Amino acid sequence: MSKSVHSLAAGISHSFYALFSILILISLPCLSIQARADVTKKVYNAEETTLSNGMQVVVISNHRAPVVSHMVWYKVGAADEPQGDGISGTAHFLEHLMFKGTKAIPPGEFSKIIRSWGGEDNAFTSWDYTAYFQSIAKDKLPNVMALEADRMINLSLPARDIELERDVIIEERRMRIDNDPQSLFAEQVRAVLFSSTNYAVPIIGWHDEMPKLKREHVLDYYQTWYTPKNAILVVSGDVTMRDVKPMAEKFYGIIPSHDVPSHIRPITPDFPAPVTLKFVSQDLHQPVFLQAWRAPSYLMNKREAFALDVLMEALSGGASTELYQSLVVKRKIATDISLSFEGDSRGEGSIWLSAVPAPNVTLEELQKAIHDKFIDLVASGLTPISVEKAKTRLIDSEIYARDSVMGPAMVVGQSLSYGLTLEEIETRPAQIEAVTLDDANAVLKIYLDPLSPKHFPVIGLMMPQGSGKTTTTNKKAQ
Amino acid sequence: MSKSVHSLAAGISHSFYALFSILILISLPCLSIQARADVTKKVYNAEETTLSNGMQVVVISNHRAPVVSHMVWYKVGAADEPQGDGISGTAHFLEHLMFKGTKAIPPGEFSKIIRSWGGEDNAFTSWDYTAYFQSIAKDKLPNVMALEADRMINLSLPARDIELERDVIIEERRMRIDNDPQSLFAEQVRAVLFSSTNYAVPIIGWHDEMPKLKREHVLDYYQTWYTPKNAILVVSGDVTMRDVKPMAEKFYGIIPSHDVPSHIRPITPDFPAPVTLKFVSQDLHQPVFLQAWRAPSYLMNKREAFALDVLMEALSGGASTELYQSLVVKRKIATDISLSFEGDSRGEGSIWLSAVPAPNVTLEELQKAIHDKFIDLVASGLTPISVEKAKTRLIDSEIYARDSVMGPAMVVGQSLSYGLTLEEIETRPAQIEAVTLDDANAVLKIYLDPLSPKHFPVIGLMMPQGSGKTTTTNKKAQ
């Protein structure tokens, strides 16, 4: 349950859930090799080039099977939409409408054609990027490039399909957010956490603002941001740059490119008080304690971000780590607890803690126990062995991410999209290796000290209705 | 103390505090006439016309002394600034820079000239409007018009003064907000209350965003919004329209006018949970309980807004009313309590409650008492006599507002600026008179029912540091 809150907070909005499993898979530490892998090697050995029109191309070779993943990443997302105009969800709406045809391809045919070739395709939108991908036999690569390049420049956006598809995304919101109390609450927590910034607005759009989405908003966004200079082609699988480059020049390189505006990512103002949101709903089945803090992203402060990675893993990277052992196993005050760091963004990152109280433990008691535990942790610091073990697990998981076709394209595409360089992505193991015990203790003290955090947390208390407290519900909008 | 929080929340940012007293004065119920005044009469008998270039002119005659108040109201404020660009405070910065000269008037000379003529001048900025005014002998009216019209079109914005004045507004923020814990906290309460809308941003700008204000932002805002079509001239005092119109045509009517963009006022999304902010500071001298709800403005829902006016007055319009009597006099749980409605805005309005606990009463106990009191009130409804008394006081205060030179120009200019018509302003007594007991009880139930409010409140707990609780402070930004 807490995983669901966290996933939503991490916030990728896409058409099918399947993608989550990919993301979760590649971020899980799966191996337990004791000797640490060689961190001096590049992870992906990706090849990189730039087309004549400025489009970036990355190839990650993997010759185990004659298949490829073909992805186009646009360096633009929901956070680049115009703000404060009472309209939201343009980036994600455009993602849907990218399947509604061009002069050459009728509405809805794109995915049918991919399937007829034995492939699969999908797309997803986040705050900082939007990606379209196909997994397919490698001999079809020129064909999918032709299709993808076509919709980069020739999108039709027929009025009728816009009307119909707006109903689809409104229904998508109804199912995934409005009818899911945890998602609805996570949306509010985010809005408070990233108050007064572009990250406070949900990717899919606010309930009352989505119906106002019009063709002009989507068209303007498409014409402004969808251009080769602002896109990255990532191909992974049974190909090399020598295969890909000529094809990419042929299909993408001929598209005229234009400059795009700069990406603006305001920083949340520093507020003087911590905030608590108390959510009571009859649709909740168990109480959950949630706490979120603002934190630097990899792009803002690489050193702190990697130290936060190690800190999270040391405290909460499995059942043998400190938080779980202390609060779940020994004190039995929680049945689950997890801590995670979200640093993959162009603007600020965040830290999320979620915990489920044990039966007969109130959320307030759990909150107090977690508060006290963090005071102890800040005072004592992490143990050297926990940090070393965490680094081993993280490095293994980085290297393990190499072993699939789609996974590497996801990791590389995402990180390039929000602003990292390929060199930075390739050398993540070395950067994790470089984190010291002091580094990890420093970020613990800076960001998670309950008595003096750099930014006050947002605390969410989720309670099933009728669990003994006076409850309050709000009236439906009139 | 609670008054200060409330005043800041109401949020007019201007150079000198004097103006607050005017506003407070004209909104206070001062008379206790028992027989209700004639509500069918217009309050101001203002005259209204439009210049050839579209500029609105209103004259409110008052012949008691040979003086005038000359005001130019621009129908634009901080909420019209570009949002999400990481820059805030443009509207207020421009207000300052309007004193920095034109081709004809050197920087800083404007106010000196007014003073040399025996007059006074100032200006203020809100979310929805920006106003410039001079109080002066009536024979100087053409002179001040010439000066004011000059800076409507000929502002210099010299680079050096922009640099210097930015330091002035940053210092203004430091003094009035950053060094005033209540103001700092009120800013956060507003940001949460009006989350994801233009009203969430402070007029003066966020601390870290003000240093980024540049000439281009101010110039663009000035050229976009400062134009006769978007301005209202309000002259009150010893003049009639027959005097004013020819002068206004001469000075303002010759300025070329252009269309302005529409004013966008997104509505705050409906969130599923109430929010509590707990502010602990060593700079606080007494605990304060604060609660704020979103509400309709006069422009959004006139009927409910007037009912809210009557409700507030019936519950909290002086020491004899229900809230004060019940919680301060009888139960002695609070030493002060006040409730107010802010409906003067183009977008949403708000309701603010503030209370100071009696010695030895905790904020939580006070919160519970207020919660229970509102449950009782919703169940019992208001008494007919309290509503009738409230209406009498409100109508008297509306009519009393007529009795000054500056006051009427303030009320009329403000209301016209955010979108009311002169007719609506003139007939406020009749609209208050029309509020029934049922109307007042209806808005009580819709907006303030603790068990089922239309919008969840934002609750602020302000506590002096060291008052017995574990305290938490946040680190200075690094």
pLDDT tens digit string along B42-55?
999 999 999 999 99
At A334-352, the pLDDT tens digits run 999 999 999 999 999 999 9
Position A478 pLDDT exceeds 50: no
Confidence band (pLDDT; 50, 70, 90) for B475? low
A419-443 average pLDDT score: 97
The H or E element that residue B319 is part of is none
> What pLDDT is stored for residue A270 in this prediction?
93
Are B3 and B10 in contact, with CB atoms under 8 Å apart? no
> What pLDDT is stored for residue B35 in this prediction?
67
Which residue type occupies B100?
K
At A183-208, the pLDDT tens digits run 999 999 999 999 999 999 999 999 99
Exposed e or buried b per residue across A304-334, where buried means at least 16 C-beta atoms within 10 angstroms of its C-beta: bbbbbbbbbbbbbbeeebbbbebbbeeeebb
3.20.20.450, 2.30.42.10, 3.20.20.70, 3.30.830.10: CATH of A2-17+40-251: 3.30.830.10
B245-263 average pLDDT score: 98
Return the residue of B nearest to A472 by Cα. B451
CA separation, residue A219 to residues A91, A92, A95, A261, B329 (Å): 10, 13, 12, 16, 63
Return the residue of A nearest to B275 by Cα. A277
Best of A264, A271, A288 to mutate (most B CBs within 10 Å, chain B): A271
In chain B, which residues fall in CATH 3.30.830.10?
Answer: 43-251, 275-464
pTM, two decimal places: 0.89
> What pLDDT is stored for residue A477 in this prediction?
41
In chain A, which residues fall in CATH 3.30.830.10?
Answer: 2-17+40-251, 275-464
At B101-117, the pLDDT tens digits run 999 999 999 999 999 99
Query: How many CB pairs below 8 Å do chains A and B form together?
Result: 160
Best of A472, A473, A476 to mutate (most B CBs within 10 Å, chain B): A472
> What pLDDT is stored for residue A467 in this prediction?
61
Domain B275-464 has CATH 3.40.50.300: no
Confidence band (pLDDT; 50, 70, 90) for A466? confident
> What pLDDT is stored for residue B197 in this prediction?
94
Return the residue of A nearest to B276 by Cα. A276
A442-460 average pLDDT score: 97
Exposed e or buried b per residue across A154-165, where buried means at least 16 C-beta atoms within 10 angstroms of its C-beta: ebbbbeebbeeb
Provide ipTM, 2 decimals.
0.86
> What pLDDT is stored for residue A20 in this prediction?
39
> What pLDDT is stored for residue B28 in this prediction?
43
Position B460 pLDDT exceeds 90: yes
Q: Who's near B149: CB < 8 A, 6+ residues apart?
A: B251, B252, B255
B57-68 average pLDDT score: 96
Position B261 pLDDT exceeds 90: yes
Position A22 pLDDT exceeds 90: no
Q: Who's near B443: CB < 8 A, 6+ residues apart?
A: B304, B307, B308, B311
A302-318 average pLDDT score: 97
Q: What whole-number percentage of chain B has pLDDT above 70?
A: 90
Nearest to B272 among A181, A265, A266 (CB): A181
Q: Is A388 a catalytic residue?
A: no
Position B3 pLDDT exceeds 60: no
Distance CA(B94)–CA(B206), nearest Å, equals 16
A24-53 average pLDDT score: 74
> What pLDDT is stored for residue B292 in this prediction?
98
Distance CA(B22)–CA(B24), nearest Å, equals 5
Q: A256 CA to chain B: closest CA distance, Å? A: 28
At A361-395, the pLDDT tens digits run 999 999 999 999 999 999 999 999 999 999 999 99
> What pLDDT is stored for residue B399 in this prediction?
87
Q: Tell if the CB–CB gap between A192 and B196 is shorter than 8 Å.
A: no
User: Burial, B49: exposed, middle or buried (Cβ in 10 Å; 0-12, 13-18, 19+)?
Assistant: middle
CA separation, residue B229 to residues A19, B74, B151, B260 (Å): 53, 9, 15, 8
Q: What whole-number percentage of chain A has pLDDT above 90?
A: 86
Distance CA(A236)–CA(A63), nearest Å, equals 9
Of A47, A48, A81, A95, which residue is the catalytic one?
Answer: A95
Are A29 and A313 in contact, with CB atoms under 8 Å apart? yes
> What pLDDT is stored for residue A1 in this prediction?
32
Confidence band (pLDDT; 50, 70, 90) for A38? confident
What are residue B334's DSSP bridge partners?
B357
At B267-277, the pLDDT tens digits run 999 999 999 99
Position A8 pLDDT exceeds 60: no
Query: CATH number of the domain at B43-251, please?
Result: 3.30.830.10
Question: Which chain B positions have a beta carbon within 8 Å of A280's beta carbon?
Answer: 273
> What pLDDT is stored for residue B1 in this prediction?
32
